[in-house]
Amino acid sequence: MDMNAALQRLQEELEPLERLVRLFSASLDQPKLVATGDGRSYRYEHPNIHHFCLLKAAVALTTLNAAIELARLGYIFQVNALIRVVVECNTHLEFVVDPSRDAEHVGRVERYIKAYFADYDRDPSAPFQKPPIKQGTVNATIGKTLDEIAAQFEELEGRKPAAEAYFSIYRAFSNFIHARYPESIDLYGNRPGYFHTHGMSGTRKDEEMIATLEPVIGTTSNVFGHMVSALKQHGLISSDPVVAAWHRDRVNF
């Protein structure tokens, strides 16, 4: 396999997403430099769901770019750890734009976004704050919606609930964050054996990295497409033919 060609193809798949983030950012009020505990930092003056989605999208995108660069050098463990960040960004994006009009869900989203932006400063002496939303709640909500959509097109008998699939994916990549035993020992190999502390480029792990990155980038593209539709940003993307064509492909996928 030509690793550079494969990574270049993945990088090209991110190009419409890069352009979308730039368009989305330019359409919103820009963050301003304000005084914070550690000096001056950028903050939004009146953030809302649009700013939340922009931030999650930007983090997912820059993390995928970083993962591609690490894959180029063969750092498969670190690629998988970064994908855990992408998975969380994607699922939380899906959660806040979920089409459910259930009053409990709508209220939960409002409280989540409010708590997210209330986390305004970094005071080392401040007590630890739990995340404003549990991942299990996120998985259950978006999983329920996916199951309802699937029920319109296929039989659900014997089908694994989507919430369980989301949990399995999240747990699999979390194992790298926590450096669990099977994931860590996988750095060992070759003859004579040694720990690959400078990447595993040129080994069978190259193909494994591409096989891991491909569906994650595809999912991210789908999530961004859903975000555009849910936030009714069709007019925004029409100004860029590359982004407009990408979104048409996502909608018709």
Domain span at 31: 3-251
pLDDT digits (tens, 9 = 90+) for 73-97: 999 999 999 999 999 999 999 999 9
pLDDT score at 153: 80
Maximal C-alpha separation, the chain: 61
pTM given for the model: 0.94
Three-state secondary-structure class, residue 91: helix
Q: How many residues in total does the chain contain?
A: 253
pLDDT digits (tens, 9 = 90+) for 2-57: 999 999 999 999 999 999 999 999 999 999 999 887 788 999 999 999 999 999 99
Reduced 3-state DSSP string for 103-114:
HHHHHHHHHHHH
Let me know if 231 is exposed, middle or buried by CB neighbors in 10 A (0-12, 13-18, 19+). middle
Three-state secondary-structure class, residue 96: helix
For the chain, the domain total comes to 1
pLDDT score at 156: 64
Range name among 99-103, 123-127, 141-145, 198-202 with the lowest pLDDT average:
123-127
